[in-house]
Each structure stands twice: as C-alpha cells, then as structure tokens.
Amino acid sequence: MGPLPAVSLPMILALALVSSAAAAAPPRAPAAAGEDGQWTMPGRDYASTRFSPLAQINSGNATTLHPVWTFSTGVLAGHEGQPLVVGDTMYVITPWPNVLYAFDLSKDGYPLRWKYRPDVSANAIGVSCCDTVNRGAFYADGKIIYNLLDGHTVAVDAKSGQEVWKTQIADMGSGETVTMAPLVVKDRVIVGASGGEFGIYGWTKGLDLKTGAVLWTAHNLGPDADMLARGADFKTPYDSGADLGVHTWPGDTWRTGGAPVWGWLSYDPELDLIYYGTGNAGPYNAEQRPGDNKWTASVLARRPADGSLVWAYQFTPHDSWDFDATGAMVLADLTVAGKPVKALVHFDKNGFAYTLDRTNGRVILAQPFVKVNWATAVDLQTGRPVVDPAKQTGASKGTVKDICPCLEGGVSPASPPAYSPRTHLFYTSTNNLCMDYASARAAYLKGTPFMGINSPYSVGPGGYLGTFMAWDAATGKKVWENKEEFPNWSGALVTAGDVAFYGTLDGWFKSVDARTGKVLSKFKVGSGVVGNPITYRGPDGKQYVAVYAGIGGDWLLLAGDVRSDDPTDVRAPLSCGGGRGTKPGYHSLGLARPAAGAIDLTRSVAGVRCGKLNINRAQFGRLAGAAQWRLTTSQLKGRVRFDWREAGLVCEITLRV
C-alpha cells in the first residue's frame, strides 16, 4: 500500500465528453419534470438523492470524459461539499476563510464574475474539531446562503456578490463552529452547529430567509420544552414518556451531551418534515453518562416553520464508540416485501444501513454494509442494536480490542450517498477500518475538548481500506462493490445515463457503470477527493461533471506530509495506526520529522511517558494559539514549560528551541 499524496493546491475540476463522443451520443431525451440542468442545493433535490436526470453522459461514452477546466482555490484544507450551478454561474466556497467565488460559465475559461470574502475569525481554526471544512451552500430567493466556520450564516446576492445579511448563530466560546450546509424550506433557513467533541448543547435553528433573523431554536436533547417536543404532536416509534432527552442522562449531564448537527438535511414537501441526524454523545467515556443519552446519534423529524419535533429515532443508544448519525437521510419511495414504503435510507457510521418509514421513524430493515462486530443485529421489534457486551467501552474496561467499524465509521457522514430511481439502488463510499478503544474520565471546561479517548485504527478483513458500492435498500443487500486501496471519503453522484461518480483519497476521480460497477473512466486530480461530485448542463447545452479536489477532514490530520508551503512538514506518511487521541490534542496536530527550525516536544500524561514527538513551528503556533488549549509558561533554563489540559488530564510539554 503506497502513501497518500501530499496536498497539492486544492481545486475544482470540471469534465466533459470529448467532442467526437459528444457528437456520437444519442440525442438528449426531453427534460424530465423539473429538470433544468442546474444544481441549486447540496443534494440536488430536497430528497438528497444526488441523482441528476441528465443523460448525455452515459455508460457508452463516459470512457471519453476529460478535464476542460480547473480552478485552484489556494486554500490548503479539506475541500468537502460541492459547488452550485445556477443558470450560467457556478458558485464555489472554500474552507476557512470561507471565500465565495462566482464563475461565468457562458464564457471561455469560466472567468470570475465576483468574489465575496467574509470576515471570519481565525479563532475558529482552534475550535474546529476535524479541519476547517465547509460543506456547501444553498440557492434561494436570489441569494447564495452558507455558513461560516466562526458561527455565522450569510446571504449573498447571487448576481452582485453583495452581502444581504449576516447572522451569528453559534458560540465559539462554547466550542461551537459551523461546517454544515444549510437547508432552505420556503422562508426558513435551517442550520446547526458542530462541537460534539467540546460538550456543546446541540441544536438546530430556523432563520428568516429575507432578514436572517433567528425565528426558532430547537435543542436535540434536554427537556421537551427546549427540544420543541410539544405534547401529543411528538411521537417516538419505540419509546414513551416525557422529557426523554433528560431522563436518559444522569443528572444534568445532558447540558454538555453533544448531539451536534454537522451533516446533511432533507425535506419531504408532502409530509412537511425536515430530517437530519445528530452526532456523538459527550464525553467519549460512556461510563460518565449511563443511559440511552437521547437524542444523540439519532434522526429527528421537524416542522420547518416552527421547529416542532414530530418524531425521533436513535440509531445507537448510549453511544460508546463515537458513532455520529449526521450522515445524509435520503428519501425515496420503495417497494419492500411487496408493499409501498415512504422510506428514509441512512448509511450510519455504526456500520448498519437503515431503511425507515419516514412517516413515523419505524425501522423496516437494518443490515450491516461493512464489517460490524460491536453489535450482532438490530432488533426490528425494539429498534435497538443487539450489542456485544465484550465491545462495550468505558474507562474501567481499559482498552477494548478490535471493534469494527472504527470511529471514522463504516462510512463518513461527510460522504453522502446517491440514489437512482432508474436502478433503484443506492451508491456510497465505505471504509474498512477497525479500532482499539480506550477511554478515560473527562472533565468539562467550557470551550475545551471534552473527550478522553485513545483509539488506534487497524485494517479490516480483506486487507483493503475502502470501497464504492451499490446497495439495495429494499432488501438490505449489497449488489456490487469496487475495492479501493484507501478509505473512501467522497460523496456519490448518479445520473439518468446510468453512470455513477466518486473520488478517492489517492486522487482518482472515477466514473462507473451504475448497474455493474465497471470503471468507465478515471482521472488523476492531484489531491485526495473528499468532496461531492455534481453534474450540470452548461450554456452550450453540454453536460458537465464537477468536483472539488483537496484532501482534508480527518485525513488531513492522518495522511502525512500535508503542507507544501512548509519546508519542515516532511514527515513520513502515517498508516492507519493513527486515530483519535494518539497525537497531542486528539489527533488535531500533525507530527513532523526533526528538521531545521523544528521544535522538539516530549510529553507525559498523568505521569506516564508517552514518547518523543516532533512538531514544527507553524504547527506549534496552531497549538499555542488555539482557543481550546489552556497553557501556562515559565522559563526553565532556556526551555518553556507548558501544562496542557485535555479531558481532565494534565500533560507536561517541554519545548526545546
């Protein structure tokens, strides 16, 4: 297995058919209802299917796809999310500092129409858990609406690039940042916050589309009043009683319980319900929070107008493995066992693929789509996983070995699937990683990591690290899969031409036959793909495919040599023996080989020597300047001593310049 590539200049890439193939392609079929060749919201439609009715590119001519345009953003961070195409303009958003670009698709070379650069606090870098990513924007009412890392939502005039409104929605001082893509339903902008690693009190908010004013706030745990669970209007498929978001926690620990919203949202106009998943429970030491810990690691269904909670279902009660449920909730009408079902399909971090009834949250099917051993099944009568007691974690249990999947998930929630109504299949990236898990007691300090975790990873069965697969959610069975050398972290796209698209961490962008998985084309983009491909019809009538390239997210932290602009960052790539807690600050810092200008660190944790680590000056500056680190200094014969507090432990760091 070769190393992951170093980060080249992250970019957006557009591909098209060669002219001869385009000419040879059959005439374009009449546009489907509502099909206009645009991509105006993160999942292309409210159901989050990432399916395009465009069919000019098909399994017969996709072999001739080639690049026609690139743009380098100049930001060395994870390029998650996807561009938007509205009319003859493409909109691109970067990771922090969250610059918005508008490109003219009607002219040769896609020249820049305008650029909007918001004022985004650099303090957000230190509070962000897992890179400074941005998962995209939404077009509505003539505005491009998106979130800023430092806790603001902005609306920008799509034609002029002028700011229309800017609203603070999150509190960085509490550990909240915002990386998710908003969802606009009628006159509401729905947003949520990251921060499960900081013990936030997770929430979603509804903003006014015209003014940006916050109209409602609904917490994802806590008392029914805070959750906007209003009496008989809120019904759970398997639980009963009031204030479940309180009584399933000890004392008032729900106040720091997490349940962030950093993934994707869907909407059913007929039922008038928005759907979204919540993240992990805090802290990672599950013994500090006995009980189900509702509603972390759950899916919630709300009314967009006032935030009223209609139903909720918890995928992983008493989350002991960091199994966030923030991945996409894809809405599709399926036939299951001969009966029509208004389905919600979700590939969870915990390794199970769920088919739910989206009218009430009941589980219809739940089957593993990767290696799963923390649970043996999901009981369809109770909706609960059947947990293997030997895989239950907690501080008193020491290191629990060989848990599958690892906490990166059977699929990353940042990697949304796609669904084709033509093949009736779902397409998704997967990871084949297991982990050892050791937790420690954590102490809460506002705005600092609230974790207590060490979790090195190992390769799962078979020796490969990821796949791209097709899944039948009506039967709970895998149809085909393509094994990949590295974990797969990109989102999926599928089209009416029966072609699916995805990218890999080692920098390949691929098209495959949606029915068989046969690779039709691949192009080396120069950096790992953690973004989500889209397709659109250009002003010239041709179909194009676009994707971000720029490795990042967790893999920026684990991949190895990641800063081409830093001569001291030349370390050997890390294998999948990494994991949360294995480096200072729960893997938030890269480690470097000793080099000129490097800083040599040694550390001890609770009196136990953890080994000798090396970190360059820029990385040390990131540590020292980050809001979550509480540092004290004293001069000791030319050395500087730092007390590093995380998860209730004091780590002694000696700096030798």
pLDDT in tens, 20-61: 233 233 334 334 444 689 999 999 999 999 999 999 999 999
Amino acid at 279: G
Amino acid at 472: D
What is the per-residue pLDDT across 356-389, written as a single tens digit (0 to 9) for each?
A: 999 999 999 999 999 999 999 999 999 999 999 9
Cis peptide before 290 (omega within 30 of 0): no
In this structure, what token pair is assigned to residue 479?
């149809």
Query: How many Å separate Cα 344 from the centre of its chain?
Result: 18
3-state secondary structure of 621: helix
Average pLDDT estimate for 252-274: 98
What is the per-residue pLDDT across 543-559, written as a single tens digit (0 to 9) for each?
A: 999 999 998 887 765 65
Cβ–Cβ under 8 Å, residues 118 and 148? yes
Q: What is the pLDDT of residue 126?
A: 83
Checking if the pLDDT of 577 tops 90, the result is no
Checking if the pLDDT of 76 tops 70, the result is yes
In this structure, what token pair is assigned to residue 433?
């990683």
Greater model confidence, 3 or 414: 414
DSSP 21-56: HHHHSPPPPPPPTT--S-B-STTSSTT---EE---S
Amino acid at 584: P
Cβ–Cβ under 8 Å, residues 73 and 92? yes
Q: By C-alpha distance, which of 35, 53, 43, 52 is closest to 81?
A: 43
Half-sphere exposure in the Cβ direction for 288 (13 Å, CA): 24
Q: What is the pLDDT of residue 587?
A: 30
Q: How far apart are CA 543 and CA 256, in angstroms?
A: 48
Checking if the pLDDT of 105 tops 80, the result is yes
Reading phi first (left if > 0) and then psi (alpha if -120 to 50, else beta), residue 434 is in beta
3-state secondary structure of 511: strand
Tell me which residues are annotated as active site: 197, 280, 322
Reading phi first (left if > 0) and then psi (alpha if -120 to 50, else beta), residue 561 is in beta
The residues, ordered by sequence, that sit 6+ positions from 2 with a Cβ below 8 Å of its Cβ are 485, 506
The residues, ordered by sequence, that sit 6+ positions from 230 with a Cβ below 8 Å of its Cβ are 224, 308, 309
Strands (E), 381-531: 385-387, 399-403, 418-420, 425-431, 433-439, 453-454, 457-459, 466-472, 477-484, 493-495, 499-503, 508-513, 519-524
3-state SS, one letter per residue, for 237-254: CCCCCCCHHHHCCCCCHH
What one-character DSSP code corresponds to residue 289?
S
Q: Taking CA 125 as the corner, what is the angle to CA 123 and CA 126, rounded to the nearest 5 degrees?
A: 75
Q: By C-alpha distance, which of 472, 476, 506, 514 is closest to 489?
A: 506
Checking if the pLDDT of 616 tops 80, the result is no
Cβ–Cβ under 8 Å, residues 476 and 603? no
Percent of the chain scored above 70 by pLDDT? 80
Q: What are phi and psi of 586, to 5 degrees?
A: 45, 55
Checking if the pLDDT of 400 tops 50, the result is yes
Q: How far apart are CA 426 and CA 492, in angstroms?
A: 9
Q: What is the pLDDT of residue 11?
A: 74
What is the per-residue pLDDT across 293-328, written as a single tens digit (0 to 9) for each?
A: 999 999 999 999 999 999 999 999 999 999 999 999
Q: What is the pLDDT of residue 108?
A: 95
Q: What is the pLDDT of residue 559?
A: 57
Query: How many Å separate Cα 92 from the centre of its chain?
Result: 18
Query: How many Å separate Cα 382 from the centre of its chain?
Result: 28
Average pLDDT estimate for 622-631: 35
3-state SS, one letter per residue, for 381-419: CCCCEEECHHHCCCHHHCEEEEECCCCCCCCCCCCCCEE
Alpha carbon of 464 to those of 323, 434, 490, 491, 523: distances in Å? Answer: 22, 12, 17, 19, 21
Q: What is the pLDDT of residue 609?
A: 31
Checking if the pLDDT of 606 tops 70, the result is no
Amino acid at 506: D
Mean pLDDT of the chain: 85
Q: What is the pLDDT of residue 566?
A: 58
Average pLDDT estimate for 423-448: 95
Cβ–Cβ under 8 Å, residues 219 and 174? no
Greater model confidence, 578 or 153: 153
Residue with tokens 């739910």: 356
Query: How many Å separate Cα 604 from the centre of its chain?
Result: 33
Q: What is the pLDDT of residue 613?
A: 35
Q: How far apart are CA 284 and CA 205, in angstroms?
A: 26
What is the end-to-end Cα distance of the chain in Å, rounded? 36
